[in-house]
Structures are given as structure tokens and as C-alpha cells.
Amino acid sequence: MTTYNLTVFPGDGIGPEIVDQGLRVLEWVEEAYGVKFDIHTDLLGGISYDTHGLPLTEAALAKAQASDAVLMGSVGGPKWDGKTDYDKRPEQGLLNLRKGLNVFANLRPAYCFDALADASSLKKELVAGLDMLIVRELAGGVYFGEPRGINTLEDGTREGINTQRYHESEISRIARVGFEMAQKRGGRLVSAEKSNVMESGLLWREVVTAVATDYPDVELSHMLADNCAMQIVRAPKQFDVIVTDNLFGDLLSDEAAMLTGSLGMLPSASLSDEGPGLYEPIHGSAPDIAGQDLANPIATILSFAMALRYSLNLGDAATAIEHAVSVTLDQGYRTADIMSEGMKSVGTKAMGDALLAALRS
Ligand code: NAD
Ligand code: IPM
Ligand code: MN
């Protein structure tokens, strides 16, 4: 029997609740596909800080690096905001994990399930049938650029510094992921940057244009990122694949999540050239609803499905899970974030129950 080694970081806030539902789905995969998941749970984020004084220990990172795929919930929360050294905050643990796994390619698919076309804050006709993919650069840019920090100047006033830096090799490797994804999908790629005000954006545009010569079958266009943000809510179905930097990708993917009905619907896969991928929902730890059985587990479950597809060679199982999500939504099951009149209101665990029933039927 094939055995896969998984490191799981439930994290903080709603993390443990949504990860529990994801793990139930993986148990179904074990039964249905005759595989075994060797699951090692470890600490990441605030819970790791509380236990070890660090948001990610070297041992936990080493364990993650040695696994076949890394699954996580979410990190952070008011308990740690402003109460830990900045470099020890929960979010830094996640950034260290991404950097330590060298997962530079973050795939964030925004797919509108038919049953949720009226759950979006946009008009139904704008989002029905939507299927777009944001390819976000995840290991560079202003998240990691030096110099950074808060300096106190001679006159006693302070300045905050972050630096957007992109080497052309970092741009070309993420551009290639964008082109390859477009080749497998609708053949169209939009590259979003701010080449009108940022040199890093100008270089981004030049490098993406040069890489395009290797992908003559993909139609490339360039869009300034502010216009792109507007176009995503004006006419989202114009997009197939968007490739963009770390910060713009963060913003544009939260925006795109609302096209699907809720932040609780959007999964992600973060991939490196070699080594395990990292799979996490794009949303955060939702402290406002944590511990109340209210969180939507679907983004997490779809993220784990992406792990099956991209890291574990179990694409059929991933497709089955995505289909079960669609069936469950068609049956009317809704967590609070996607609830509408006449639907069946369920909590986190009951949504997991409904999904498992759909998988078993
Ligand atoms: P958030 O994504 O946690 O929540 C934003 C809103 O969306 C909240 O109203 C929340 O209740 C709702 N929401 C999010 N996920 C949901 C789900 N699965 N089901 C139903 N509703 C959901 O963003 P925030 O409030 O800005 O951040 C909270 C904390 O999470 C912060 O500490 C932030 O740094 C952290 N964060 C972590 C990650 C991550 O771990 N990948 C991502 C984003 C934010
Ligand atoms: C995300 C989150 C993270 C990011 C934070 C928590 C570090 O917002 O995964 O989208 O900014 O990348
Ligand atoms: Mn984000």
C-alpha cells in the first residue's frame, strides 16, 4: 500500500476546526483509494509561540520539509497582535514556513460553484460560471525584501521601511508557472503590476514579455494592478489566469474570493520546484467566529484536494472531493457565511458530515 507522509499544522483560531473536517475527508480517501496517510501534527503560529516561544521551530520546519505534503489551517489572532516581538508573531511563522519550503508559486483558484452564484456580493450574471486562477509569487517581493524595519531618526521621529525587490530569475520562474497554467486552461494570461510607478513592476513586465516567446500558444496581456482590481469586480469572467507579485496577489485573491460567495470557499496550493507543496485556505484564523462551529471548512477541504492532485498523484480523489462539494451545495447545505433564504443552515462539523455523505453515496 502506498503510504504518504503528511505534516499538518492546524494553527490558531478556526484552524483546528476546519482542519478536522479536512482530515475526515482524507480518511475517506484512504478507504476509497487504498492508500495510507501517515499524519504528523505539529505547531505553527500563535500556538507554537505559546508553547516554544517561536511561531515555527526548526524541528517543525524540518519535519515539514521531509514530508510529501504540508497541510495547514490558519494562524494569528488578537491574542498575539502587538504582544510578541514582531519577528515572532504567528504570521512570521507562516512566512518562515513558505520560505523554508521555497514554495514560490501560489495557486489561488476562484471558482464559482453554480449553487453559490447568488451568494456573491456581485450580481449573479457576473459570477455564474466563473473559473479563474490567480498565480501569486509567494517567496519574494515586499514581504521579504531588505532593508526593512522601523528606524528612529535623529530628530526622534520614526520611519517604517519595507522594500519591494524582485530579481529577474524570481520573475521568470513565476511567469513560467503562469504560462503553464494558462496552457492547461483557457490559454489567456494577464500579468498585473505597477510598471507605471515601480521599477520592480517595469522589470516584471519586461521579463514576463520575454518569457512569453516560449509560450506562443498563450495570449498574454499586461494590466496595471489597480485596474486589475477594478476589472475583477467589473467583469470577472474576462480572466483566465492572472500572474502577479506577492502583495498584489494577496489583495486580488481576497477580492476574487468574494466572487465565489465567501472567503471560506477559496483554497490554495503553494508549490516549489522540488520538495513538498503547502496547502492552506486563503483566509485567516477568523477570530470573530473561532470555537463556535461556524467556520466554513470548504476552502480547507478544497486545499487538501489540491494536495492530492499536485503532491500525491491522487488527481481522481481530488476531482471526487470537488464534485462532492458541488453536490453538497446543490443539496442546499450552507454555513453561515454562504447562507441564503430557504437553504439548510449547518455548522462546520455538519458541513463535514454532509460532504462525507456525498462522498460515500
Ligand atoms: P480572516 O480571513 O481571518 O477573516 C476575515 C473575515 O472573513 C472574518 O469576518 C471571518 O469571520 C471571515 N471568514 C474567514 N474565513 C472564514 C471561514 N472559513 N468561514 C466563514 N467565515 C470566514 O482575516 P482577518 O480577520 O483580517 O485576520 C484574522 C487573523 O488571521 C489575523 O491575525 C491575520 O494575520 C491572520 N491571517 C492568517 C492567514 C493564514 O493563516 N493564512 C491568512 C489571512 C489572515
Ligand atoms: C494569506 C495571508 C498571509 C499573507 C499572512 C497571514 C502572512 O494573508 O495567506 O493570504 O499575507 O500572505
Ligand atoms: Mn491574505
The pLDDT of residue 49 is: 98
Distance 238 CA to ligand 2 centre (A): 26
User: Annotation-wise, does 294 bind a ligand?
Assistant: yes
The pLDDT of residue 84 is: 80
The full set of domains in the chain, from first to last, is 1-104+266-361 (3.40.718.10), 120-260 (3.40.718.10)
User: Which residue has a Cα nearest atom 1 of ligand 2?
Assistant: 282
Give the residue carrying C-alpha cell 499524519: 39
Residues with CB under 6 A from ligand 1: 14, 74-77, 91, 94, 263-264, 280, 283-289, 295-296, 299, 337
Distance 282 CA to ligand 1 centre (A): 8
User: Which residue has a Cα nearest atom 7 of ligand 2?
Assistant: 91
Q: Beta strand pairing status for 269-271 and 277-279?
A: antiparallel
Distance 94 CA to ligand 2 centre (A): 8
User: Annotation-wise, does 330 bind a ligand?
Assistant: no
The pLDDT of residue 164 is: 98
User: Which residue has a Cα nearest atom 5 of ligand 2?
Assistant: 91
pLDDT digits (tens, 9 = 90+) for 159-191: 999 999 999 999 999 999 999 999 999 999 999
pLDDT digits (tens, 9 = 90+) for 89-131: 999 999 999 999 999 999 999 999 999 999 889 999 999 999 9
Q: Across 216-292, where does the E strand assignment appear?
A: 219-224, 241-244, 269-271, 277-279
Neighbours of ion ligand 3 (CB under 5 A): 250
Report the alpha-carbon distance of residue 127 to residue 131 in Å, rounded. 9
The answer, as to whether pTM is greater than 0.90, is: yes
Report the alpha-carbon distance of residue 167 to residue 164 in Å, rounded. 10
360, 337 Cβ separation under 8 angstroms: no
Residue 49 annotated among the catalytic residues of the structure: no
Among 114, 226, 316, 330, the one annotated catalytic:
226
| pLDDT, tens digit only, all 361 positions of the chain | 899 999 999 999 999 999 999 999 999 999 999 999 999 999 999 999 999 999 999 999 999 999 999 999 999 999 999 888 999 999 999 999 999 999 999 999 999 999 999 988 999 999 999 999 999 999 999 999 999 999 999 999 999 999 999 999 999 999 999 999 999 999 999 999 999 999 999 999 999 999 999 999 999 999 999 999 999 999 999 999 999 999 999 999 999 999 999 999 999 999 999 999 999 999 999 999 999 999 999 999 999 999 999 999 999 999 999 999 999 999 999 999 999 999 999 999 999 999 999 999 9
Residue 254 annotated among the catalytic residues of the structure: yes
The pLDDT of residue 83 is: 83
Please report how many Cα atoms fall inside a 13 Å half-sphere around the Cα of residue 338, on the Cβ side.
Answer: 36
Q: Report the residue among 44, 263, 339 best suited for mutation to probe ligand 1: largest number of ligand atoms under 8 A from its CB.
A: 263
179, 209 Cβ separation under 8 angstroms: no
| Alpha-carbon distances, residue 82 vs 43, 56, 57, 85, 158 (angstroms) | 20, 18, 21, 8, 17
Residue 237 annotated among the catalytic residues of the structure: no
